[in-house]
Structure 1
């Protein structure tokens, strides 16, 4: 059974009512008396239990020139930090693991991907409370992954990089510049780069367990408002801070220079949430966001419903 179908089956079979008392049995260290959530009902079970989607830690890497598993159009998350070769984290692995705890150039990082929101973000794992290691709670809020740290078992909203439950509530992670691009684009830009090796789990890597999701009519387990301006809930938008540019607009122009930023689009990247084989997904293009000095800017390429849910007062860059 495809993972998406299994998630639906599990979510229907499990009680979805918010219940901190029940959650405390699964997360005994979490301080549920501290939270920034208005209503506990905002958090729902996504199906899998704690660590049912296993996060990765300290993965192996191989030279990009030696990896023959990836198709040229397959998406990867690129993290290019000073003092170390650029690293590619293939979405074919993150679809099944969602979080990679790594260390690059001496900096502990978390590379994350939430398939249900198409949110791909990389964070610095250093906080005032120490270096954290993240796992997957199995819970969703507005269809976005809720992470937890193994040190305090506080819960974190992946889309915002912010602790929402537990002793670290209100703590924000530092967002690092990273972006999704095709495997071909990564290798061309970084011939001496590294790519994460295939994890030692029995998974159908290379296949999309959420087949057809990004052309669905409704997000999974989302009951909030749809985006304004007639924008489809599962349309992709480029988010920088509290601004969102519809991908359709960027794709039509190829480049937008607005708000002190330069956003560019080039063809060649397959959607990981379209066809059964990731490599055969429709072309959603490669997006880069840079400032006026040509420096990469932290951004996200998420679904419109998620932007509206987490930034309800955000600005829609419609070009009108």
Structure 2
């Protein structure tokens, strides 16, 4: 693992006292990380790109909402370790071009895409991931009319939140050919990618069950008709790629198939983004992480991707 210092600690400030409201300043197609609750909460990628971590509590449960713009990695973690709630900040370091967080309680350092402590008193501990899909703001509102969204914390009254939280630099990076710190900022070593079946910045949904991990590249799921069934560890998994992102659920053993533009199984249609059926049933969403392929490969090796 290559760890490097890039910025001072907390140069990218976490949000530790988040505020929520019913309206969002961004675009309808902006992506948000969704955490279920009463009401459900949306955390816009646009805001997270400038803060990377939100320490929050929802329905009395602590959570850490995390985002690495270089890895395009969205993961929500349970921050309770041995009965103690950890709060996280940005360390200013990168590990294999991935955000390194630190916790303020023990000062251990954590690799964001994996949730593993890589240094400090808690080295070797892994944070459990919490199911948290990534969808568009428009889809979040349609599914959750009572939902709330993280409010911006930056701005001095002279610029609008849309100007302060400008996504153009991050979108240029996501669409460009280079990856890692060099691709984002033109600093450090240019990384190489020695495979042609998957691009370095192919979007992957990573599912981990026990000691097994499988990354589902979105193009491969789409090539399979938008539906893939698989086994990861002891769990049967079904992965859907829809216009509203890529989502993983526990597979109850149904024969899912794409037919006439709909996902059908067990005598009804299913929404691939929510896991809900037309007859009122719902699949159990799996904890997963959405990220770029190079980051998944850094963590799990080149043979960790789903292949038909």
Q: Same fold (TM over 0.5)?
A: yes
Q: CA deviation at 1:129?
A: 6.2
Match of 1:248 in 2: 219
Write out per-residue CA displacement over residues 140-171 of structure 1, whole angstroms, 9 at most, x where no aligned residue: 01110000001111100101101111111111
TM-score, with normalisation over the residues of structure 2? 0.78
The partner residue of 2:178 within 199, 215, 218 is 218
Q: Any idea what SS the aligned residue of 2:50 has?
A: helix
Q: In 2, distance between residues paired with 1:209 and 1:244? A: 27
Match of 2:249 in 1: 290
Q: In 1, distance between residues paired with 2:173 and 2:167? A: 13
Q: In 2, distance between residues paired with 1:106 and 1:99? A: 19
Q: Any idea what SS the aligned residue of 1:210 has?
A: helix
Write out aligned runs for 1:267-286 (5 A).
267=243, 285-286=244-245
- Tell me, yes or no, if the aligned pair for 1:216 and 1:234 is still in contact at 8 Å: no
Q: In 2, distance between residues paired with 1:68 and 1:212? A: 23
Structure possessing the higher relative contact order (Cα contacts under 8 Å, 6 or more residues apart): 1
TM-score, with normalisation over the residues of structure 1? 0.75
Moved over 6 A (4+): 222-225
- Tell me, yes or no, if the aligned pair for 1:73 and 1:183 is still in contact at 8 Å: yes
Whose helix proportion is higher, 1 or 2?
A: 1
Write out per-residue CA displacement over residues 176-223 of structure 1, whole angstroms, 9 at most, x where no aligned residue: 000110001111111111111111456721433324212332312376
- Tell me, yes or no, if the aligned pair for 2:179 and 2:191 is still in contact at 8 Å: no
The reply on whether 1:55 has 2:55 as its aligned counterpart is no
Unpaired segments of 5 or more residues in structure 1?
1-36, 268-284
Q: In 2, distance between residues paired with 1:189 and 1:93? A: 21
Q: CA deviation at 1:43?
A: 0.6
The reply on whether 1:125 has 2:79 as its aligned counterpart is yes
Q: In 2, distance between residues paired with 1:78 and 1:230? A: 31
Write out aligned runs for 1:1-320 (5 A).
42-46=2-6, 48-63=7-22, 67-81=23-37, 84-128=38-82, 130-201=84-155, 204-221=164-181, 226=193, 228=195, 230-241=197-208, 242-252=213-223, 253-259=225-231, 260-267=236-243, 285-293=244-252, 294-312=283-301, 314-319=303-308
Unpaired segments of 5 or more residues in structure 2?
182-188, 253-282
Whose strand proportion is higher, 1 or 2?
A: 2
Q: In 1, distance between residues paired with 2:167 and 2:16? A: 22
Write out per-residue CA displacement over residues 14-67 of structure 1, whole angstroms, 9 at most, x where no aligned residue: xxxxxxxxxxxxxxxxxxxxxxx6xxxx11123x2110100011201113xxx1
Bigger mean CA deviation after superposition, 189-198 or 226-235: 226-235
